[in-house]
């Protein structure tokens, strides 16, 4: 390489470095990367006063009254206090974290599981000021609780960001009270978005590798601007310690619950009135659709907002208020985090054609529980996928009698093709390949031995689903 080329390359790299540094400076608050010591300290100076420790005293627990515990050996073995100590009930205590989101009103957000069964709650600020806190309301289904402290002292609040703007790879900082160590800061990135299956009914977790440990629950996950993007809630761990997989409830979900609790003292959830399932590639093929994301409507509850809006079985819901719906968890969040009386716009596919309907949500508290003579045996006269099942008519003593027409699955042999396909005793098959089934003879015609694929619409308890059998 010639000296001239070396100089050109050096100049190019210098310009590239300056460009990268300029873009980083533009993305974070002024001063964080200034000088020779890049630091999160300027942002944390603003954020730390808004993150608090939450100390909870539980209800007194009387020690077990058992004659065995009169023996000193058994008391030591089970770690039971001596007789004198047993006279006084123990009051369990726990420590968690919280976030001040309204300095004027003294509102503090934390997790429901931090304050459940609390008899006394104390909020401690990072400057050691302490205040008794009142539980305004909590929501076990999202694991959010709202506390309030009353004081004339000056408080600091965290601004709430739009968590929909988060992307995998964004830098985040977790602030909390792990293991009772008082305020502790850890940093990392957003490792994943839209995580489900951690135990809450309404979930849309942010996954992060910023260290989250016991005691961090209820603390803040903030972006580099010092804005609240999530409430730290859970970890995935085999030992109880951090392994780099932590979860935070996104701020948009938190804010929706917080606003309702602050206004009403409770969460009132909207209800659409459908039972649905995720649109799989197999179901999409069965419905002749060229999409593989959405929610198939398996059942529409009578007189529900969905029924009044004109939604029908086999519709595929793809959007709510213009936001894509990829699976049933997203639909549950989109509806359950709205209030009764809210109006929603629902985009759906019906027979391959897109439609848009408007629905006024009902109250989930008013919904019934849901979302669970002659006979024929599936031998050579029925499709291979039904082998091992016995079918019979829908009799008058069936809970679904008078509500639907169909054929009852009377028995399913363990390990049979029907069992592997997902059929269960008590299921009621109402249609096969989109054709209604009224009796066993019709079942035999629609599901004969030459039929290679069966799309069954099944009523199961108070719910419904589609089963694709090949």
pLDDT digits (tens, 9 = 90+) for 212-254: 877 888 899 999 999 999 999 877 665 566 678 889 999 999 9
pLDDT digits (tens, 9 = 90+) for 388-403: 787 877 776 678 877 8
Across 79-183, where does the E strand assignment appear? 93-102, 107-110, 118-124, 130-139, 144-148, 171-176
Whether residue 405 sits in one domain with residue 347: no
In terms of average pLDDT, the best of 34-38, 178-182, 279-283, 343-347 is 343-347
Q: Is residue 404 part of a domain?
A: yes
* Domain-ending residue, one of 312, 336, 366: 366
Q: Is residue 27 part of a domain?
A: no
Q: Which of 267, 271, 229 is nearest to 248 (CA)?
A: 229
pLDDT digits (tens, 9 = 90+) for 183-192: 889 999 999 9
Q: What percent of the chain has pLDDT over 70?
A: 79
Whether residue 361 sits in one domain with residue 313: yes
pLDDT digits (tens, 9 = 90+) for 281-339: 888 888 888 888 898 888 888 888 999 999 998 899 999 999 888 888 788 888 888 88
Q: Is residue 355 part of a domain?
A: yes
Whether residue 140 sits in one domain with residue 167: no
Q: Is residue 444 part of a domain?
A: yes
DSSP H or E run through 282: helix 281-286
- Residue 299 is predicted with a pLDDT of 80
Q: Is residue 227 part of a domain?
A: yes
User: By residue range, what is the domain housing residue 69?
Assistant: 46-148
Whether residue 391 sits in one domain with residue 362: no
Q: Is residue 168 part of a domain?
A: yes
pLDDT digits (tens, 9 = 90+) for 119-160: 899 999 988 899 999 999 999 888 999 999 999 899 999 999
317 phi and psi angles, rounded to 5 deg: -80, 125
Q: Is residue 158 part of a domain?
A: no
Q: How many domains is the chain partitioned into structurally?
A: 4
Given the residues 138, 139, 143, 315, the one annotated as active site: 143
Domain of 404, CATH number, reads 2.30.42.10
Q: Is residue 465 part of a domain?
A: yes
* Domain-ending residue, one of 240, 264, 288: 264
Whether residue 344 sits in one domain with residue 322: yes
Given the residues 113, 251, 315, 431, the one annotated as active site: 113
Given the residues 97, 163, 191, 217, the one annotated as active site: 217
Whether residue 345 sits in one domain with residue 392: no
Active site residue 217: yes
Least confident of 82-96, 165-179, 258-272, 291-305: 82-96
pLDDT digits (tens, 9 = 90+) for 259-272: 999 988 888 888 89
- Residue 21 is predicted with a pLDDT of 37
pLDDT level of residue 52 (50, 70, 90 thresholds): very high
Helices (H), 299-455: 305-309, 328-336, 417-421, 440-446
Whether residue 336 sits in one domain with residue 278: yes
Quickly list DSSP for 236-279. Answer: --SSSS--S-EEEEEHHHHHHHHHHHHHHSS---EE--EEEEE-
Q: Is the pLDDT of residue 17 over 70?
A: no
């Amino acid at each position: 390489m010639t000296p001239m080329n070396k100089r050109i390359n050096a100049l190019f790299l210098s310009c590239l470095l300056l460009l990268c540094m300029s873009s980083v400076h533009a993305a974070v608050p002024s001063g964080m990367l200034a000088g020779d010591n890049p630091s999160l300290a300027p942002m944390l100076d603003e954020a730390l006063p808004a993150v608090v420790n939450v100390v909870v005293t539980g209800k007194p627990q009387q020690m077990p009254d058992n004659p065995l515990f009169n023996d000193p050996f058994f008391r030591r073995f089970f770690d039971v206090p001596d007789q004198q100590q047993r006279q006084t009930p123990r009051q369990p205590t726990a420590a968690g974290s919280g976030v001040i989101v309204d300095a004027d009103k003294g509102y503090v957000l934390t997790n429901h599981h931090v304050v459940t069964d609390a008899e006394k709650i104390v909020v401690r600020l990072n400057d050691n000021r302490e205040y008794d806190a009142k539980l305004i309301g909590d929501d076990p289904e999202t694991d959010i609780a709202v506390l309030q402290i009353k004081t004339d002292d000056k408080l600091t609040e965290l601004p709430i960001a739009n968590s929909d703007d988060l992307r995998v790879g964004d830098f985040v900082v977790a602030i909390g009270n792990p293991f009772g160590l008082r305020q502790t800061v850890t940093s990392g990135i957003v490792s994943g978005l839209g995580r489900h299956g951690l135990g809450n009914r309404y979930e849309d977790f942010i996954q992060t590798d910023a260290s989250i440990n016991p005691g961090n629950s209820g603390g803040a996950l903030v972006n580099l601007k010092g804005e609240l993007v999530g409430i730290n809630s859970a970890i995935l761990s085999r030992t109880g310690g951090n392994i780099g997989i932590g979860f935070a409830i996104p701020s948009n979900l938190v804010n929706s619950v917080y606003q309702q609790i602050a206004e009403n003292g409770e969460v009132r959830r909207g209800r659409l009135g459908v039972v649905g399932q995720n649109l799989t590639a197999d179901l999409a093929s069965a419905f002749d659709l060229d999409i593989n994301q959405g929610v198939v409507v398996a059942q529409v509850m009578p007189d529900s907002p969905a029924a009044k809006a004109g939604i029908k079985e086999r519709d595929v819901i793809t959007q709510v208020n213009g936001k894509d719906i990829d699976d049933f968890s997203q639909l549950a969040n989109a509806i359950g985090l709205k209030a009764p009386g809210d109006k929603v716009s629902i985009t759906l596919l019906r027979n391959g054609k897109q439609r848009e309907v408007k629905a006024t949500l009902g109250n989930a508290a008013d919904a019934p529980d849901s979302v669970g003579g002659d006979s024929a045996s599936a031998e050579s006269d029925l499709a291979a996928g039904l082998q091992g099942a016995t079918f019979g008519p829908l009799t008058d003593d069936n809970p679904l009698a008078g509500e639907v027409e169909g054929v009852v699955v009377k028995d399913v042999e363990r390990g049979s093709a029907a069992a592997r396909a997902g059929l269960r005793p008590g299921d009621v098959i109402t249609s096969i390949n989109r054709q209604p089934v009224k009796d066993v003879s019709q079942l035999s015609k629609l599901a004969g031995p030459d039929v290679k694929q069966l799309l069954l619409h099944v009523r199961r308890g108070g719910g419904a689903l589609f089963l694709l059998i090949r």
